[in-house]
Structure 1
Amino acid sequence: MPNDVAIVGGSYAGLAAALQLARARRSVVVVDAGHRRNRFAGTSHGFLTRDGEAPASIAESGRQQLLAYPDVRFVEGVAEMARPEGEGFNISLQGENLSARRLILATGVVDELPAIPGLRERWGRTVFHCPYCHGHELARGQIGVLATGPHAFYQAMMLPDWGSTTLFINGAFEPDASQSAMLAARGVKIEKEPVVELEDSKATVILADGRKVSLDGLFVAPRTRMASDLPEALGCAFEEGPMGPFIRTDPMKATSVAGVYACGDAARAAGSVSHAVGDGVTAGMAAHQSLIFG
């Protein structure tokens, strides 16, 4: 007998989808490779009732709650292939094949960070992408924005609410006269000298001319790519967001492929734990209802 629903991705979106289906007494299998996008961060912020907790703790709590439902099974590993089969789908892992009537993709994205020495080591600790997730903890200190493209303007405009802000152009973006005036009105400093390295326990920026700028936190909006080849292999349509492609879905998180739903960071232009959980709830309910109504 096939599972009612297979969910590829066992982070926040996938867990939230599984919970709705488990409570509908449907059989669910969750395939989890164990690579949460926010695994580098020590704490997670902005998720109601769990603010300031370790990301791993939130995910493990969700997993344990799901395991209390008899119709949920977890499989650890990477889903290497998924294809339509009969009225459902076949999902291949190393050493195991799974079948399900519906498929939910909660496969996430990978952040492609600028190749600046010292940046990757500080990712999620003193180098961040989301001010709502990490800005408050910087206590109105010295904040930097490392430009990767035009989106840096929006980051730099927002961040003065969290601290004194410097925009490092770094050859990736040049604000026009109107943008420069808006940044000046917000008190943002613009630094055109290229960034060559980050050092110390915080995020001190070393510039090409040898100057050092001491920061409490540095924000960067990296390009993203799909963490899994499954969406493309299945033929899912994509949209191009400001940071990279994401799976196109309708308001109920259905993709362009019949029977396939997508949620979380893989299916939105930008995300957070709260957004991922909300998307997962919608995808889980929609997949359940499709089993009834077609």
Structure 2
Amino acid sequence: MNRDTRPHSAPEIVDVAVVGGGPAGLSAATALGRSRRAVVVIDAGEPRNAVAAHAHNVFSRDGAEPLALIAAAREQAAAYGVALVDDRVTRVRRAPDGFALETAGGRTVQARRLLLASGLRDVLPDIPGLAAHWGDSVVHCPYCHGWEVRDRAIVVIGTTPRSSHQALMFSRLSDDVVFVRHDSPRDAASDADLVALGVRIVDGVVARVDDDSDGALDSVVLADGTALPARAVAVGPSFEARTELYEQLGGSPSVVEGVGVVIPADAVGMTPLPGVWAVGNARDATAMVGASAAAGTMAGAALNMDLLVDEAAAARAQGPGPRPRTTA
């Protein structure tokens, strides 16, 4: 059942509708709420890092549970009048005053601006056994999860053009790192760097990942039957931003080679579509929690100024007189 956790009813027309209640969306909403903007955050409750037990490299909160971070951010955003709605936006369209959003729960929200902070999906390589350990002993980011797999036998599976770079970073964390070429391109300079830092290179294709009798990750098995001991596996998933709403409005996603699909936007989140902004992993597939939160704050500030420019133009057209202030 969809749960509405708002402290009060959202205005009929809000200044900004934020789709996605992760670090980026909530940070943007908080910045806007502190500027007395009417904001609604609609969140489907599918955070990308839900599979991870802890979030790392988060300023002053390293090791915090991801869902605990979100809970604290929601409480703080609500204190500034941000409306929080647990629901899924299924459709968006242009409306006379901006945008009309429809949710799975039957709600319709009118908004002057739209901020897409709906994150992305990690699409793992189609290798049997990987998914069962995703977020635990199968990882992709040495900065997010590398410390937790330090000193283990680590196998890096080459699935992207940057996989050798990934293996190079994991070499800082263990003396037992093997790089399996799989389907990543050969690069003589990268190979030389890996060998120089003690990484063993195996030219082979991975067939599956096996567990031991206790269900823990045990080995990476190649197509020729060779079993490589592995207590951790690093892979490069394809990152696919949730672009459905952007495409409903006529937008075209961007393909970043070796990374995946994102929503195109500038440094503060403005997309090519007027009135539509994108932030966090929806725009930058490689952004970690801290970077996504910072980007959300910047987007919130930029959105506030964008609205102010419109309001100033309308006020000039209206002429002298009192100005109503839209508040949450």
TM-score (norm 1): 0.94
Aligned CA-pair RMSD = 1.6
- Bigger drift between 230-239 and 268-277 goes to 230-239
Aligned amino acid, residue 264 of structure 2 = R
Residue 263 of structure 2 aligns with which residue?
A: 247
Q: 2:268 & 2:240 partners in 1: Cα distance?
A: 23
Q: How does 1:33-182 map to 2 (within 5 A)?
A: 33-69=44-80, 71-94=81-104, 95-163=106-174, 164-170=176-182, 172-182=183-193
State the percentage of identical aligned residues: 37
Q: 2:252 & 2:243 partners in 1: Cα distance?
A: 14
Q: 2:66 & 2:267 partners in 1: Cα distance?
A: 27
Residue 195 of structure 1 deviates from its aligned partner by 2.0
Q: 2:13 & 2:220 partners in 1: Cα distance?
A: 54
Aligned residues: 292
Please say if residues 243 and 269 of structure 1, whose CA atoms lie closer than 8 Å, have aligned partners that are also in contact.
Answer: yes
Q: 1:282 & 1:27 partners in 2: Cα distance?
A: 17
Larger Rg: 2
Q: 1:158 & 1:255 partners in 2: Cα distance?
A: 33
Please say if residues 144 and 168 of structure 1, whose CA atoms lie closer than 8 Å, have aligned partners that are also in contact.
Answer: yes
Q: 2:218 & 2:259 partners in 1: Cα distance?
A: 23
Residue 195 of structure 1 aligns with which residue?
A: 206
- Bigger drift between 275-284 and 174-183 goes to 174-183
**Structure 1: unaligned runs, 5 residues or longer:** none
SS at match of 1:51: coil
TM-score (norm 2): 0.85
Deviation string, structure 1 residues 50-108 (Cα, Å, up to 9, x no partner)? 11111111111111222223x21111121111112113111111211100111100011
Please say if residues 87 and 103 of structure 2, whose CA atoms lie closer than 8 Å, have aligned partners that are also in contact.
Answer: yes
Q: 2:26 & 2:79 partners in 1: Cα distance?
A: 13
Residue 196 of structure 1 deviates from its aligned partner by 2.2
User: In structure 2, do the counterparts of structure 1 residues 253 and 128 end up closer, same or farther at CA, with 3 Å as the change threshold?
Assistant: same
2:307 paired with 1:291 = yes
Aligned amino acid, residue 212 of structure 1 = A
**Structure 2: unaligned runs, 5 residues or longer:** 1-11, 311-328
Please say if residues 237 and 256 of structure 1, whose CA atoms lie closer than 8 Å, have aligned partners that are also in contact.
Answer: no
Residue 322 of structure 2 aligns with which residue?
A: none
Deviation string, structure 1 residues 153-196 (Cα, Å, up to 9, x no partner)? 211122211113211122x1242333322221122111223222
Please say if residues 121 and 241 of structure 2, whose CA atoms lie closer than 8 Å, have aligned partners that are also in contact.
Answer: yes
Residue 20 of structure 1 deviates from its aligned partner by 0.3
Aligned amino acid, residue 278 of structure 2 = A
Please say if residues 126 and 203 of structure 1, whose CA atoms lie closer than 8 Å, have aligned partners that are also in contact.
Answer: no
Q: 1:180 & 1:271 partners in 2: Cα distance?
A: 27
Residue 25 of structure 1 deviates from its aligned partner by 1.3
Aligned amino acid, residue 139 of structure 2 = F
